[in-house]
A and B are shown apart, each in its own frame.
Chain A
């Protein structure tokens, strides 16, 4: 069923009263059409069921070869990445509750989407994240404690993006998809076979910038993968408030493929992202990957999901937990033993301890940092204000 086919959307010309009534019925029908479109969920690309069983079917056949090289050790590595990322995330949430961070955007529930896609990347690929890609940052070897500076309020991004090819977190929703597209246009101009990946959420897909990024990347055949983590909620607004057709289908309108992958299946995310990256490297242009997942916690520590969503919904998604399903698989297949899990638990404890220590020891920046790096080439007004403020501060010293 397509939205366009619903008869109720046709405008009706009649008396005022009838028009009002028709308007109301149109709205109602539009909502139900949207709900229908959403509920008619297309099959996900899935390689690992929630119970931890490997599956092969028509839906995933194209993507299976992209993980045929994955060994038991690789699987344990993916599991470790997810566990440590979750631990880091949980630690950061706790630190926010303890007043050590001003805000935290938790990725709880989205570990598979981030680790699967992050581990698909090559060193020379370039990542444009939102503010929630802590798992992708982990895959890029960005020290996780560096991610906390902006949330503690000591900087706006605590790492050099060129070192790990991992750009700074972008707060303005969807802006980075255009940066990724421009960067990818540059990669193509350089004749390099690197790829670029842009992360964003279901809410961001409503933004003009994301749609302009789709347009530009298609027109210039830019080697970029748009990796949308559809976590079902944009703060309190469900996906029905963002779109009336399944998100991945939008790509077709821009002239490139879109795929919906089980975002809680790390193996499927790895396979589909590798496939999309290969398309980019080959010169086949952009791809939209919609990782169908769920944000288990709040949007940020500032909101309260109990005000806008039901407990049953969360419970249903808990049964699809990305970490638990890989653990079930590792145990059933014998690819990991209790010793492995125990060692990982110990490593996890160590990471948590380090994160706590580093955050608490994080110094406030020097006051005069306000004036640093405003301009690369300098600016007379900044120089003047810096000198004035330094003199003002110095006047207190002289008073003693």
Chain B
């Protein structure tokens, strides 16, 4: 067992390094990923060690980045693409939705699309417009794509390995405000499946389901609730497509209450789907309707309003109280 303590950013870097070492077909592509090492330095040092043919600085053209990655995948490569920020993925949305997601099906399974699209996403870093969005539901809604987001360094390391090894396109959302959070990574452990939810904290009174940046908030909420004598279970979904409904159902059948928490707007979000499906699956177990906590149906606000917009401890605890009051 080789356990190291590292940040999520470092874990992602190590994971990319391992992928480049293991498989000569793996390529890193994106804007500024070479010499600069990416604006968040996730690809730091990789071009120096693997060369410009493996770690490729691209023109500033997102559709071009994803479109050429599709062509490289058709040629047998496994491109790992970096989109610089969440709000910049939309020029590439057409290529992702109309081409990348459907190529395998259109070809009746004869070609595979092992493309990973890494996107630093969500808010909390005081950035300007288009740098703090949570578009995961827009991708999870698209058949053919897998959509995941790690919340710990260990998951960052392993989920990225699994995403790169997958023959399906994976949208890999990195919670940018957690890049510098540290944790233990066992680089020899054999992880569970990419889409399996993880019980981050066991509890008995209510389940909080979250992913990416909100897992930490939910754990903090659980700790605060524990001081009031409430036992909160926190489920880290890890994957938004597919969603591990079996795992979530097990938790809800135990606690009989569920609050889903994400940064993205609540309306038609991942939480809406979870509320609907868990209601179908657990109708006779539920003591309260499934509640959702998340962003508003409004453009992501200027940085000075982020703290009001993003679900924090209080909004999560308020939802916990409302659920328990039923």
Contact = CB atoms under 8 A, between A and B. Distances in A.
A155 B107 CA distance: 9
A178 B98 CA distance: 13
Contacts of A181: 64, 67-68, 71
Interface in B58-79: 58-59, 61, 63-64, 66-77
Interface stretch (A27-35, A156-164, A277-285, A323-331): A156-164
The A interface, classified by DSSP as helix, strand, loop or mixed, is: helix
Contacts of A186: 71-72, 74-77
A83 B106 CA distance: 30
Interface string A199-213: 000000000110011
Interface string A135-149: 000000000000000
Interface residues of B, number: 48
B74 A380 contact: no
Contacts of A374: 104-105, 143-144
Contacts of B107: 157, 160-161, 168, 373
B108 A377 contact: no
A170 B68 CA distance: 15
Contact of B168 (A167, A168, A213, A376): A376
Interface string B101-116: 0111111111111000
B4 to A, nearest CB: 29
Interface residues of A, number: 43
A213 B166 contact: no
Interface string A369-400: 00011111101111010000000000000000
B94 interface: yes
B146 interface: yes
A185 B63 contact: no
Contact of A209 (B59, B95, B105, B166): B95
A216 B106 contact: no
A216 B144 contact: no
B61 A175 contact: no
B242 A380 contact: yes
B186 interface: no
Nearest to B58: A216
A361 interface: no
B104 A178 contact: no
Given A181-B71, A182-B71, A215-B64, A381 B241 contact: yes
Given A178-B63, A179-B70, A216-B61, A156 B102 contact: yes
A189 interface: yes
A172 interface: yes
Contacts of B292: none
B148 interface: no
A182 B70 contact: yes
B198 to A, nearest CB: 15
Contact of B67 (A156, A179, A189, A373): A179
Nearest to A157: B106
A379 B110 contact: no
Contacts of B40: none
A190 interface: yes
Contacts of A160: 107-108, 110
30 contacts: A161-B107, A161-B111, A168-B103, A178-B63, A178-B66, A178-B70, A179-B70, A179-B99, A181-B68, A182-B70, A183-B71, A183-B72, A186-B75, A186-B77, A189-B77, A209-B63, A212-B59, A212-B61, A212-B63, A215-B64, A216-B61, A216-B68, A372-B105, A373-B105, A375-B104, A375-B146, A376-B109, A376-B167, A377-B168, A381-B242
The 9 closest A-B pairs by CB, nearest first: A182-B71, A178-B67, A186-B75, A182-B68, A212-B64, A376-B167, A183-B71, A373-B109, A380-B242
Interface of A: 155-158, 160-162, 167-168, 170, 172, 175, 177-187, 189-190, 208-209, 212-213, 215-216, 219, 372-377, 379-382, 384
Given A155-B108, A187-B75, A208-B63, 14 more contacts: A156-B105, A158-B108, A162-B110, A179-B74, A182-B71, A182-B74, A185-B75, A209-B67, A215-B59, A373-B105, A374-B143, A376-B167, A379-B242, A384-B245
